[in-house]
Amino acid sequence: MSKTRHMMQLLVVLLASVVLTGCYGHRVIGLLQEPTKQNKIPTYEKDSTHEEYRIRVNDEIIYRLITMDETISKILGTNESVNTQYANSYRVYDDGTIDLPFLKPVHVEGLTVQEAQDTVRAAFKEIIPDADVKIALYNKTFTVIGDIRSGEYYIYKENMNIFEALAMTGDLLDSGDRKHVRIIRPKPDSDQPEILDFDIRSNTIIDSKYYYIYPNDVIYVARTKDSFVKLASYTGFLGLITSSVSLLISVLNYSTTLSK
């Protein structure tokens, strides 16, 4: 019987040690941690060069024309003489221009949305003196893949950051590798995208070059290499310990009964 007790104690100690090393603790998955020598989390410099998104070839543009000109309204087949809105999007061609009704091709590649809006407004004013124009980027989306709820999501506000973007997906899975989150970002005038690799646990990521999300970004979260030995919570481990001990007791009791 003492041998049975000894084996049970040994199993409990073994499983307890697994508990201490097999769960996803705060140091592994916690966000906004302060970098220290102990947690080996990197420190990132603030980046004051954050720029507005600039329109690229193959982007889709939508616009709204505002005018009191009744002639324009009649041509477009509407009775409204104040606000004319187009539901269709207009692609930026390879030469960097878009074709809008009544206008010659307008070059918008390389411009911010505000600059493109000013450019298109000026072009319309040449034929419609009271014209006002509002422009928006139709393909204002980012994509998420990997150990996370993958999908394409819409950038609903200006200067969306990485935490807001991931919150839209329901956050990273516990098994996601937070040490090496990657943003794959198309580069203007280049066939090769820029790949940003960073540790999202660091609180210094705020206002760094990894902080903001741009249209057409792809966020990739890999699965950690040791995820197969991890459980999401201590509750799962307690269940494992309980079931293992119960099984051991049953086996040992059965063995003791046979030896009598």
pLDDT tens column, 21-42: 455 567 778 889 999 888 899 9
Q: How far is Cα 226 from Cα 217, in angstroms, rounded to an integer?
A: 28
Cα atoms found within 13 Å of the Cα of residue 244, Cβ hemisphere only: 17
Please report the pLDDT score of residue 234 as a whole number.
Answer: 47
Q: Cα dist. 82→2, 74, 77, 103, 123 in Å?
A: 92, 12, 13, 19, 19
Tell me the three state secondary structure of residue 136: strand
Instruction: Kindly state the average pLDDT of the residues 54-74.
Output: 86
CA distances to 81, 154, 172 from 190, rounded to whole Å, are 44, 25, 30
Mean pLDDT of the chain: 81
Give the range among 77-91, 160-174, 245-259 with minimum mean pLDDT.
245-259
Average pLDDT over residues 153-182: 92
Least Cα distance to 181 among 138, 139, 147 occurs for 147
Residue 101 has a pLDDT of 87
- Tell me, what's the pLDDT at 7? 57
Model pLDDT for residues 119-156, shown as the tens digit of each residue: 999 999 999 999 999 999 999 999 999 988 899 999 99
Q: In the prediction, which pLDDT does 68 show? A: 86
Judged by DSSP in three states, 221 sits in strand
